[in-house]
Chains A and B, each alone.
Chain A
């Protein structure tokens, strides 16, 4: 039983990472109707930039963090501005191909620029594991989970309670009409790209200390985050969060009690089962996916 509990706790940390990355996917998908398959390698690039800021420029941890995340937001907005705006009207197959190409291209570029030697990124917190009853958890795991929940709440607030959020929701439903109503659609879509890449970058930065930083670090994480987004209905923030934690915990339990070799298989079986019962995901609504 203790082992079971520990497996669940262990899954929370990675679950939060999947949730953050899934949020990044969903927020971009909401406004641009585009699945950013490059989100994993973009996140890795942000983590590499952070590594350079820390090891070569020797900035203090917090300053480097903020700078890297601002950089992520700028890269996100520029990606939309420079590349994806031009394929807005293209068939979705073309769009998918472009973001997939971007994924491979960025991963290759990161390899060329930073090399393949695993690099250390410091954890945010210091000190060893905390003991709670029979369970262990690291301060970083706690921080990651808390940060994910706080960010999700903040995003929810922005989306539901601010004009920017209203613009995003309107664009998500009908971009052309929103544009006619004078909603600044271009700015809003670029902003959601900024947000999305920032979240992917944050996920990469947070996971790097646990797995060590390398160009392909996010490959597997991206697959799980994508699964989390699908599970949550690909459009709902709450869905992405819940989906992330489910994938993290269930994934951990599968590798604990069955075999790690089946992790991905079972996660996708779970998705198929969920989609069978609820065709629009746990939190999705029919109207959302109709668009």
Chain B
């Protein structure tokens, strides 16, 4: 479904992504890991069209993603959450989620203002999706709270919820577990595992928390200096010497599991 082929991206003299091939299959969870600066977030930003690669192709369901401007990416079924949540801080949690549904149908302004059937139908659909996301992410209790007042962990969940309301086929998650407590992380991992079943969406996950990554992923890609240095099922990752080297430098031993960033 998502396919990156030979993608390279550099900023004035600095290589962020170097000849990367990457595929995410329908309904699977794929994780991107690697040390800081390995180019993981750059890959997400490429897919979101914030960046345009110098070479290579990015295709989504046979469509050339590089031809789309950033704000059209969500229309073809790719939604994302951000490393630090970019919520509408003065709006309620519910309103934040409803904005996620903005692209799902486009009743005209007149229909909106007069609340004609098409607008009402859109609103009903958006409400249903928002309610579902609230339930899925256990946010019902904070539904009417102002988003900016919530604790950080909750804000990250609202950010993910907003992406889910957008009805994506592919969900991009940028470090969703960062800044969460251990128990919340476990719960989040569980929720992410259920995204393909509940929402019919594949997931491309970037995170430093090896516990979460190894638990939820079908496929793990390890990057260093912008290149893929390993790809395989989670069970194989922690024993790869080049992965260890990337994370720890060659002098030290141990397993990746101990070396959470």
A residues engaging B (CB < 8 A)? 158, 162-164, 166-167, 169-170, 173-174, 177-185, 187, 191, 285, 287-288
In the complex, which of the residues A170, A184, A287 contacts B148, with contact meaning CB atoms closer than 8 Å? Answer: A287
**Contact call B86/A182, Cβ cutoff below 8 A:** no
A177, B74: Cα distance in complex, Å: 12
A180, B48: Cα distance in complex, Å: 9
A126, B139: Cα distance in complex, Å: 57
- Chain B CB count within 10 A is highest, among A169, A182, A184, for A182
> Which chain B residues border A182 with CB–CB below 8 Å?
71, 74-75, 102-104, 166
Instruction: Indicate whether B113 reaches chain A with its CB closer than 8 angstroms.
Output: yes
Instruction: Indicate whether B184 reaches chain A with its CB closer than 8 angstroms.
Output: no
In the complex, which of the residues A158, A177, A285 contacts B88, with contact meaning CB atoms closer than 8 Å? Answer: A177
> Which residue of chain B lies nearest to A160 when distances are taken between CB atoms in the complex?
B95
Could you show 12 A-B contacts with beta carbons less than 8 Å apart? Answer: A162-B115, A163-B119, A166-B98, A166-B99, A166-B102, A170-B88, A174-B88, A178-B99, A182-B74, A182-B102, A182-B166, A183-B102
**Contact call A170/B91, Cβ cutoff below 8 A:** yes
- Chain B CB count within 10 A is highest, among A162, A163, A191, for A163
Output the least CB separation between B149 and chain A (Å): 10
* In the complex, the 3 A-B pairs of residues with the closest C-beta atoms, listed nearest first: A182-B103, A173-B88, A164-B112
Instruction: Indicate whether B162 reaches chain A with its CB closer than 8 angstroms.
Output: yes
> Which residue of chain B lies nearest to A176 when distances are taken between CB atoms in the complex?
B86
> Which chain A residues border B103 with CB–CB below 8 Å?
181-183
Instruction: Indicate whether B90 reaches chain A with its CB closer than 8 angstroms.
Output: yes
**Contact call A184/B106, Cβ cutoff below 8 A:** yes
B residues engaging A (CB < 8 A)? 48, 70-71, 73-75, 86, 88-91, 95, 98-100, 102-104, 106-107, 109, 112-113, 115, 119, 122-123, 126, 148, 162, 166
**Contact call B48/A285, Cβ cutoff below 8 A:** no
> Which chain A residues border B70 with CB–CB below 8 Å?
179-180
> Which residue of chain B lies nearest to A162 when distances are taken between CB atoms in the complex?
B112
> Which residue of chain B lies nearest to A173 when distances are taken between CB atoms in the complex?
B88
**Contact call A164/B102, Cβ cutoff below 8 A:** no
A158, B106: Cα distance in complex, Å: 16
Output the least CB separation between A155 and chain B (Å): 10
**Contact call B86/A169, Cβ cutoff below 8 A:** no
**Contact call B112/A183, Cβ cutoff below 8 A:** no
A162, B116: Cα distance in complex, Å: 11
In the complex, which of the residues A164, A178, A187 contacts B113, with contact meaning CB atoms closer than 8 Å? Answer: A164
**Contact call B90/A288, Cβ cutoff below 8 A:** yes
**Contact call B166/A181, Cβ cutoff below 8 A:** yes
In the complex, which of the residues B71, B91, B98, B109 contacts A180, with contact meaning CB atoms closer than 8 Å? Answer: B71
Tell me whether A180 and B74 are in contact in the complex, defined as CB-CB below 8 angstroms, given that A163-B107, A163-B122, A166-B99 are known contacts: yes
> Which chain A residues border B99 with CB–CB below 8 Å?
166-167, 170, 178, 181, 183
> Which chain B residues border A185 with CB–CB below 8 Å?
71
> Which residue of chain A lies nearest to B162 when distances are taken between CB atoms in the complex?
A181
> Which residue of chain B lies nearest to A182 when distances are taken between CB atoms in the complex?
B103
A177, B162: Cα distance in complex, Å: 11
**Contact call B86/A163, Cβ cutoff below 8 A:** no
> Which chain B residues border A178 with CB–CB below 8 Å?
88, 99, 102
